[in-house]
């Protein structure tokens, strides 16, 4: 991904918020409901926190022995008859996939959801070479038909209303635009996808986990679409990031108990499928993809982001994500996890993302593999500041704050004088629409009449005791 | 002449150069379980996942139940000896031949109480697509074969012995339109578990009983 213009998440979020009175509140409500289901499921498991800790440590163990486990995975998968390919970057991943398809004269591809294939921009690459690429996950297909990337890593079209989908299907498939019943719309897609599954020359999936011990990879879906794509066409190609490895079959018990509960508040996804070598009569290709991951291992402050199992819980809990919509991030990965992953691909382009956060810390609290997401967001802010990527307005205010907090005497002076200033400043400076569109619907808390220090000196300090 | 480094070597070299300080693999304890029978928990979670269940005591009752649940079914493709169906999956040469299946019938090796999921492998399905191309699924499950949780489940699976294994939890589902739960997205529209003990050897269908490629009447 080459350096392009900086994405402006705050401006894009504003468009989502002011679009109408429907989309943003709906988005917020659905994701919060998902979060509440997650909380209920988590609370029902007495060892939940222990599972998070174990999962985190298994991932850390794996990542700190990643070369060994990748070789073990490759050896076992190969022994079982899979073809294992290695791709240094997105371009090589796409070339490998295309060459497999070309070798077989494959013209039509049915694929299930894969964030890695999104990351590699695979679909446009293949389409430019004459391959018909069909998304089979309902949300992904909706996004594909609308010419948009997924806005959420688990619920790709969660930012759309049922009316949006009905109108889209009317335009692209020819159904009744006034029938916006989700049952009807799902049935439309089922009937639309079936012939494509049967006609496809190859099926593609991602991989949620790859087990070194057996050379197995697994895919979680609710629709069963990955299973159809893997079991009907003669060729199955799976794209798997090198960080998806786990050492042993036993480890999967921990991860599967966490994944769907964190993602959607269900004990499992409807289908948790394990592929170990090609199916009877089929051919299996596994593409292991680096695309910057091995480089990330060397970043002491950020390598823990490689533990991510792509559940999306950090997005569902995030007050900024829920109100922005995922497309506002202008990147493959959105929400808190996107804020810490995207800059590893392009620091300049995604330099604004770390500021698209309140640092409330909720993401770190819900992460099933205990990634210190919110700390990493803060650390990315420092990286961006050091590189001089801050927009002017922020650079000024942060510079002032940095000086003041480093000089406590001035702080007390400033704090006292800031009171009357802040009474007016928020609206003009912080919440001026053009300077900071985030502030449009927000208010700063009112300041206390007395500062804490004044109150302390009066009531609790040695002085106060002496006076009493 | 030195051959150029492959991407595999480049990636592994890069990983080795960048590995953080080693962290040990943690011990996964055996978590304490509340006692009690597992079947009710399995049933509750299966129901929550959109599945249904029935206690049946014989192959004949299973067949009658299937007919009652799916009276309009024209093609019943079976992978189990208890229910013959109209098509034996052993006779299916190519997964595309399953496109017209109304009801697929298969036996799961075991169920998982904490989710209501069942474990189905390539050996159980015979043709993997049977589990997802069938419009509806009937899954036979021995009520004695239920494990409490995913830890126990993974101790039971033999991933090195099967090319495909799936924990299937109820029917296909999606919530991609306005987070509204709909069953029957791409895979089976419904999933009914029949609790029926595993057959003894005498009941097992002989290979010679199968007439490849010919659909049988359902009676």
Nearest Cα residue to B78 out of B87, B69, B70 = B87
Verdict on whether the full-model pTM lies above 0.90: no
Q: What is the pLDDT of residues A315-326, one digit of tens each?
A: 999 999 999 999
Q: What is the pLDDT of residues A22-56, one digit of tens each?
A: 999 999 999 999 999 999 999 999 999 999 999 99
pLDDT score for A420: 44
Q: What is the pLDDT of residues A196-226, one digit of tens each?
A: 999 999 999 999 999 999 999 999 999 999 9
- The residue in chain B having the minimum alpha-carbon distance to the alpha carbon of residue A56 is B26
Residues B5 and A56: beta-carbon distance below 8 Å: no
pLDDT score for A350: 95
Residue A435 token pair: 């300077």
Contacts of A20 (CB under 8 A, 6+ apart): none
pLDDT score for A5: 85
- How much is the average pLDDT of A402-415? 51
Determine the 3-state secondary structure of A123 from DSSP: helix
Which residues of chain B carry a pLDDT beneath 70?
1-3, 200-219
Residues A288 and A84: beta-carbon distance below 8 Å: yes
pLDDT score for A417: 47
Architecture, CATH, for domain B37-196: 3-Layer(aba) Sandwich (3.40)
Determine the 3-state secondary structure of A116 from DSSP: helix
User: For the range A13-20, what are the long-range contacts, defined as Cβ-Cβ under 8 Å and sequence gap of 24 or more?
Assistant: A13/A320, A13/A323, A13/A324, A13/A325, A13/A328, A13/A356, A13/A437, A13/A438, A14/A433, A14/A437, A14/A438, A14/A440, A15/A328, A16/A159, A16/A323, A16/A324, A16/A325, A16/A327, A16/A328, A17/A323, A17/A324, A17/A440, A17/A441, A18/A440
Q: Where along chain B do its domains lie?
A: 37-196
Q: What pLDDT band is residue A389 in, cutting at 50, 70 and 90?
A: confident
Placement of tokens 């909706």 in the chain: A142
Could you say which DSSP state residue A429 is in?
Answer: I
Q: Which helix (H) or strand (E) holds A101?
A: helix A90-103
Domain A1-37+307-390 has CATH 1.10.1060: yes
Q: Which one has a higher pLDDT value, A458 or A408?
A: A458
Using a CB-CB cut-off of 8 Å, the residues of chain A touching B159 are: 211, 214, 216, 249, 274, 276
Give the domain A45-291 fold.
Rossmann fold (3.40.50)
Residue A8 has pLDDT above 60, yes or no: yes
Residues A238 and A286: beta-carbon distance below 8 Å: yes
Determine the 3-state secondary structure of A425 from DSSP: helix
Using a CB-CB cut-off of 8 Å, the residues of chain A touching B22 are: 61, 64-65
Q: What pLDDT band is residue A19 in, cutting at 50, 70 and 90?
A: confident
Q: Which helix (H) or strand (E) holds A11?
A: helix A9-18
**CATH 1.10.1060 domain extents, chain A:** 1-37+307-390
Residue A380 has pLDDT above 60, yes or no: yes
pLDDT score for A355: 93
Q: Which helix (H) or strand (E) holds A415?
A: helix A408-425
**CATH 3.40.50.10420 domain extents, chain A:** 45-291
- How much is the average pLDDT of A443-452? 61
The ipTM, to two decimals, is: 0.91
Cβ–Cβ below 8 Å for B151 and A280:
no
Using a CB-CB cut-off of 8 Å, the residues of chain B touching A262 are: none
Query: What span, in angstroms and rounded, lies between the C-alpha atoms of B156 and A133?
Result: 37
Q: Which of A 40-79 lie inside 8 A of B, CB atoms?
A: 46-47, 50, 53-54, 57-58, 60-61, 63-67, 70-71, 76
Percent of chain A with pLDDT over 70: 84
Query: What span, in angstroms and rounded, lies between the C-alpha atoms of A131 and A106?
Result: 8
Least confident segment among A229-233, A315-319, A415-419: A415-419
**Which one of A63, A70, A275 has the shortest CB-CB distance to B164?**
A275
Q: Which one has a higher pLDDT value, A392 or B151?
A: B151
Residue A418 has pLDDT above 70, yes or no: no
pLDDT score for A457: 72
How many whole angstroms from its chain centre is CA A5? 21
């Amino acid at each position: 991904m080459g350096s392009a213009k900086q994405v402006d998440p705050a401006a894009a979020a504003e468009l989502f918020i002011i679009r109408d009175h429907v989309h943003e509140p709906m988005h917020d409500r659905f994701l919060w409901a998902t979060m509440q289901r997650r909380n209920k499921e988590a609370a029902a498991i007495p060892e939940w926190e222990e599972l998070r800790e174990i999962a985190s440590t298994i991932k850390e163990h794996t990542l700190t022995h990643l070369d060994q486990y990748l070789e073990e995975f490759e050896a076992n998968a190969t022994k079982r008859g899979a073809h294992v390919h290695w791709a240094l970057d997105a371009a090589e991943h796409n070339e490998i996939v295309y060459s497999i398809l070309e070798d077989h004269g494959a013209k039509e591809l049915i694929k299930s959801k894969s964030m890695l294939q999104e990351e590699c921009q695979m679909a446009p690459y293949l389409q430019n070479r004459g391959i018909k690429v069909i998304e089979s996950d309902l949300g992904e297909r909706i996004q594909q038909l609308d010419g948009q990337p997924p806005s959420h890593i688990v619920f790709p079209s969660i930012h759309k209303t049922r009316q949006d989908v009905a109108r889209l299907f009317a335009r692209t498939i020819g159904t009744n635009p006034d029938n916006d019943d989700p049952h009807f719309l799902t049935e439309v897609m089922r009937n639309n996808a079936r012939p494509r599954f049967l006609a496809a020359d190859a099926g593609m999936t991602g991989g949620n986990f790859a087990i070194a011990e057996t050379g197995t990879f697994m895919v979680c879906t609710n629709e069963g679409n990955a299973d159809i794509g893997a079991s009907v066409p003669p060729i199955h190609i799976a794209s798997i990031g090198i960080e998806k490895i786990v050492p042993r079959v036993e480890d999967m018990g921990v991860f599967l108990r966490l994944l769907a509960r964190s993602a959607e508040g269900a004990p499992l996804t409807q289908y948790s499928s394990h592929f170990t070598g090609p199916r009877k009569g089929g051919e299996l290709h596994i593409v292991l993809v680096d695309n910057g991951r091995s480089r990330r291992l060397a970043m002491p402050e950020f390598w823990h982001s490689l533990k991510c199992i792509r559940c999306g819980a950090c997005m569902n809990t995030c007050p900024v994500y829920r109100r922005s919509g995922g497309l506002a991030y202008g990147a493959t990965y959105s929400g808190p996890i996107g804020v810490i992953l995207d800059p590893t691909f392009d620091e300049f382009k995604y330099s604004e993302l770390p500021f698209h956060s309140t640092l409330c810390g909720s993401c770190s609290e819900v992460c099933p593999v205990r990634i210190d997401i919110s700390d990493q967001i803060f650390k990315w802010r420092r990286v961006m500041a050091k590189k001089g990527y801050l927009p002017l307005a922020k650079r000024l205010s942060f510079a002032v704050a940095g000086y003041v907090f480093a000089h406590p005497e001035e702080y007390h002076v400033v704090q006292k004088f800031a009171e009357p200033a802040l009474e007016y400043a928020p609206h003009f400076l912080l919440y001026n629409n053009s300077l900071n569109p985030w502030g449009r619907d927000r208010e700063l808390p009112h300041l206390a009449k007395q500062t804490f220090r004044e109150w302390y000196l009066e009531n609790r300090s040695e002085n106060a005791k002496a006076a009493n | 002449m030195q051959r150029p480094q492959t991407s595999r070597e480049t990636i592994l070299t890069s990983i080795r150069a960048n590995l953080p300080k080693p962290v040990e693999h943690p011990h996964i304890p055996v978590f304490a379980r509340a006692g009690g029978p597992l079947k009710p928990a399995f049933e509750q979670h299966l129901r929550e996942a959109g599945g249904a269940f029935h206690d049946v005591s014989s192959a004949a009752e299973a067949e009658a139940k299937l007919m009652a649940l799916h009276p309009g079914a024209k093609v019943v493709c079976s992978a189990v000896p208890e229910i013959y169906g109209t098509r034996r999956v052993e006779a299916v040469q190519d997964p595309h031949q399953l496109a017209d299946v109304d009801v697929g019938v298969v036996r799961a090796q075991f169920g998982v109480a904490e989710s209501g999921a069942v474990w189905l492998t390539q050996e159980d399905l015979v043709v993997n697509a049977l589990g997802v191309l069938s419009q509806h699924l009937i899954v036979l499950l021995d009520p004695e074969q239920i494990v409490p949780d995913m830890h126990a489940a993974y101790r039971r699976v033999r991933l090195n012995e099967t090319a495909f294994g799936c924990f299937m939890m109820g029917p296909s589902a999606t919530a991609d339109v306005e987070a509204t739960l709909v069953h029957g997205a791409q895979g089976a529209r419904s999933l009914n578990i029949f609790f029926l003990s595993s057959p003894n050897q005498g009941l097992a269908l002989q290979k010679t009983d199968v007439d490849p490629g010919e659909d049988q009447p359902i009676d």
